[in-house]
Amino acid sequence: MPAGSRIEEPSARVVLEARNVVKTYGHVTALDGVDFELRAGEILAVVGDNGAGKSTLIKTLTGAVRPTSGEILLDGVPVHFKGPLDARHAGIETVYQDLAVAPALDIAANLFLGRELRAPGLLGSLFRRLDKKGMREEARRAMGELKFRLPAIDNPVESLSGGQRQGVAVARAALFARRLVIMDEPTAALGVRETGQVLQLIRSIRDRGLPVVLISHNMPNVFDLADRIHIMRLGRRAAVVTPKTHSMNDVVAIMTGAATA
Amino acid sequence: MNTATVYPAEAPRSLKARILGSPSAGPLLVLFGFCVIFALTNPRFLATHNLSIILQQTVVIGALAIGQTLVILTAGIDLAVGAICVLGTIVAGKLANLGYDPVLSMGIAVLICTAAGFAAGGLVSGLRLPPFIVTLGILGILTAALRLISEGGAFPVRDPFLAWTGNTMKLGGFVLTYGVLIMFILYASVWYLLNQTKWGRHVYAIGNNVEAARLVGIPVRRHLLSVYVLAGLIYGIAAWLALGRIPNADPNAMQSANLDSITAVVIGGTSLFGGRGGLVGTLIGALIVGVLRNGLTLAGIDPLWQDLITGILVIIAVALDQLSRRRR
């Protein structure tokens, strides 16, 4: 077996799969028949040079872009996302590079933003009253489970550091994702120490059983976290490697076409 | 990592800390300060009948400031508050004077004000025009149109139902108009919407970070539209309150409604940048504007000076908001 794709645990269940996906914009081919495979319980890093098709691939997986041709399967079932909301309803959550939080709202409110819980009984059904206490308790429980250090849950998010704020966005995704979490450069806006906090959080999410797709430019981070590395080149998957079998130099060489896996 | 320290238990905040830390503490202090100054300079200021008059004088601006708060919380601004309210008084007055059922006349007026809010919200959310320009345009259109319809002049509105909100009731030794009561009910209901429901939370989220709101799946455009529609409805109800105050439909009325309502909102601690503040502050802000105008009138100061001082106040309030924003 070549040391490229499909190395270890070929038996692990495939959660999200793309088969021969093509995306063209007029004459420009962004994705040229790419395959993609995310397995249960893993952190899969997606790396590639600028213009290699990383972000287009991710956008097709999150429903932000519709592929020209090809298939996307979630838990083995073909899916056709018409927009990001469809992907979310299917259990796929995405975290973006810029901090997608409402700074003046508190941590609990941010965790439940867009998915607020309503109070039980008539207060909730008739008077549409929010279950603030329930949301705070649930938020506290979730953050404890993820072992993420935060000040009190009713502090506004603007009182947090950048890393903690992104931690809130990441935790929100983990809290609501039923199938997988996609993270698009989640630490690009953060300093070294803050990046460390978020990486630790991503690890705890994986350890709780949610598979994670991590798009990153930062090779040390990728090698620190990823179970497998999906390398994009010229709109296709050039190789899938693991940090155990390949070095950073190998990966960069595959990215740039200087070597093949 | 020591898991025992991962999540700190929270101590409930003491009442004192909550009051001092509350964003309404500053405005409350300003209100108190003005009251003390006016009470010391004029013994009539604290008389129960004068306090009741202040409330009555605050009713219309107080109600308009609720809609203004909603719009400003979404990082917008509404320069058509007064014009839409005047539209309501003229439609209701005209219809009633033509002999239509007064309840129906008022209902149609409120509906038309709501439609004006819908138009503003549609332009802001659908065409993504700046709220400042949209409402400035509506202000211009309505001001001209209303003068045309009413042939330039004011006319009296004699119908008892339209003036009902000016009727009084006794509460202890205190004389209240039904209009005052309606204003407080409006404050309570919209406060509930803003603070206890998903709708309100999404208003704050949109004002805070529109992009984040969109990413978490909040239908931002529809939500913005609903904010302007609710604001329009409130301006319509304010028109009823205005007819109770002065049973006269005047196309030239409420010239200072923009200044006063925006001042009330901003003095109340709501940020012009959106997403911060709320109705408790606005109510205090509206009372500050009311107390100020009343106190200066009692002191025999020309209304033009009142506008001047209100103008200075709003600039100070915005400057404070800007400064606190830089510190964040």
Write the pLDDT tens digit of every residue in B93-141: 999 999 999 999 999 999 999 999 999 999 999 999 999 999 999 999 9
**Nearest to A15, CA basis, from A45, A33, A36, A35:** A36
Please give the DSSP secondary-structure letter assigned to residue A129: -
CA distances from A229 to A4, A80, A220, B113, B243 (A): 10, 25, 12, 59, 71
Q: What is the pLDDT of residues A185-230, one digit of tens each?
A: 998 888 888 898 899 999 999 998 999 999 998 999 999 999 999 9
Question: What CA–CA distance (Å, rounded) separates A33 from A52?
Answer: 12
| Percent helix / strand / coil, chain A, rounded to 5 | 35, 25, 40
pLDDT-derived band at B4 (thresholds 50, 70, 90) equals: very low
Least Cα separation, residue A214 to chain B (angstroms): 18
Cβ distance of B10 and A104 shorter than 8 Å? no
At A53, is the secondary structure helix, strand, or coil? coil
With an 8 Å Cβ cutoff, are A102 and B199 in contact?
no
Report the residue from B5, B6, B201 with minimal CB separation from A130.
B201
CA distance linking residue B166 with residue B169, whole number of Å: 10
Is some CB atom of chain B closer than 8 A to the CB atom of A189?
no
Q: Give me the pLDDT at residue A197, please.
A: 87
Q: Is the pLDDT of residue B325 over 90?
A: no
Instruction: Match 């009561």 to its residue by tokens.
Output: B181
Residues 6+ apart with CB under 8 A from B94: B149, B150, B155, B249
Helix axes B257-267, B279-298, angle to 10 degrees: 120
What single letter denotes the amino acid at residue B209?
Answer: N
**Residue A188 gets which letter from DSSP?**
T
CA distance A220 to chain B (A): 22
Collect all residues of chain B within an 8 Å Cβ-Cβ radius of residue A160. Answer: none
Domain ranges of chain B: 56-254
- Residue B224 has, within 13 A of its CA and on its CB side, a CA count of 28
How many A×B Cβ pairs under 8 Å?
81
Asked if A105's CB is within 8 angstroms of B328's CB, the reply is: no
Both tokens of A54, joined, read 């990383």
Percent of residues in chain B assigned helix, strand, coil, to nearest 5? 75, 5, 25
The string over A187-214, giving b where at least 16 C-beta atoms fall within 10 Å of a residue's C-beta and e elsewhere, is bebbeeebbebbbbbbbbbbeeebbbbb
- The 10 Å Cβ neighbour count of residue B312 is 11
What SS3 state is found at B239?
helix
What are the DSSP calls for A59-71, one per residue?
HHHTTSS--SEEE
CA angle A164, A165, A170 (to 5 degrees): 90
**SS3 per-residue string spanning B112-161:** HHHHHHHHHHHHHHHCCCCHHHHHHHHHHHHHHHHHHHCCCCCEECCCCC
Which CATH number does the domain A14-103+162-256 belong to among 3.40.50.300, 3.40.50.720, 3.30.413.10, 2.60.40.2250?
3.40.50.300
pLDDT in tens, B202-257: 999 999 999 999 888 899 999 999 999 999 999 999 999 999 999 999 999 998 89
Residues in B 113-142 with any Cβ partner in A closer than 8 A: none
Q: Note the pLDDT of residue A255.
A: 93
Nearest residue to A59 (alpha-carbon basis) of A91, A90, A96: A96
Selected residue of A105, A141, A154 to mutate for chain B interface (largest B Cβ count, 10 A)? A105
CB–CB contact B204 A154 (8 Å): no
Query: Contact at 8 Å (CB) between A65 and A56?
Result: yes
State yes or no: pLDDT of B6 exceeds 50: no
> CA B110, CA B113: separation in Å to the nearest integer?
5
A contact residues 96-155, partner B, Cβ 8 Å cutoff: 96, 98-105, 109, 113-116, 118, 127-130, 140, 143-144, 147-154
- Grade residue B1 by pLDDT with cuts at 50, 70 and 90: very low
pLDDT bucket at B272, cuts 50 / 70 / 90: very high
3-state secondary structure (DSSP) of residue B226: helix
- The C-alpha atoms of residue A123 and residue A260 are separated, in whole angstroms, by 62
Helix and strand element counts for chain B (H, E): 13, 4
SS3 call for A135? helix
Q: B212 and A100 in contact by Cβ < 8 A?
A: yes
Q: How far is CA B249 from CA B102, B142, B232, in A?
A: 14, 14, 18
**The pLDDT value given to residue A6:** 42
Burial environment of residue B20 by CB neighbours within 10 A (0 to 12, 13 to 18, 19 or more): exposed
Which two tokens mark A245?
A: 């079998």
Distance from chain centroid for Cα A258:
29
Nearest CA distance, B229 vs chain A (angstrom):
19
pLDDT digits (tens, 9 = 90+) for B67-95: 999 999 999 999 999 999 999 999 999 99
- B4 in A contact zone (CB under 8 Å): no
Q: Which amino acid is at B17?
A: A
**How far is the alpha carbon of A142 from chain B, nearest alpha carbon, in Å?**
11
A78 CB neighbour count, 10 Å cutoff: 10
Looking at residue B175, what is its pLDDT? 86
ipTM comes to 0.84
User: Rounded to a whole number, what is the largest CA-CA distance in chain A?
Assistant: 66
Instruction: Report the phi/psi class of residue B78: left, alpha or beta, with left for phi > 0 and alpha for psi in -120 to 50.
Output: beta
| Least-confidence region, from A27-31, A239-243, A256-260 | A256-260
pLDDT attached to residue A2: 44
Kindly give the interhelix angle for B178-196 and B279-298, rounded to the nearest 10 degrees: 150
Tell me which residue in A103, A130, A147 faces B1 most closely, judged by beta carbons: A147
**Residue B327: predicted pLDDT:** 65
CB neighbours (10 Å) of residue B251? 24
What single DSSP character describes residue B95? H
Residue B203 contacts A where some CB pair is shorter than 8 Å = no
Contacts of B211 in chain A (CB under 8 A): 98, 100
Q: Once rounded to an integer, what is the mean pLDDT over residues A141-150?
A: 86
**What's the pLDDT tens digit per position in B155-194?**
999 899 999 999 999 887 788 999 999 999 999 999 999 9
Strands A43-48, A212-215: pairing is parallel
Residue type, A184: D
Q: Do A151 and B8 touch (CB under 8 A)?
A: yes
For chain A, the domains span 14-103+162-256
Cβ distance A100 to B275 less than 8 Å, yes or no, reads no
Q: How far is A148 from chain B (nearest CA, A)?
A: 7
Residue with tokens 């603007």: A158
Average pLDDT over residues A146-172: 89
Question: Is B221 at the interface with chain A, CB within 8 A?
Answer: no
Specify whether the CB–CB gap between B180 and B283 falls below 8 A: no
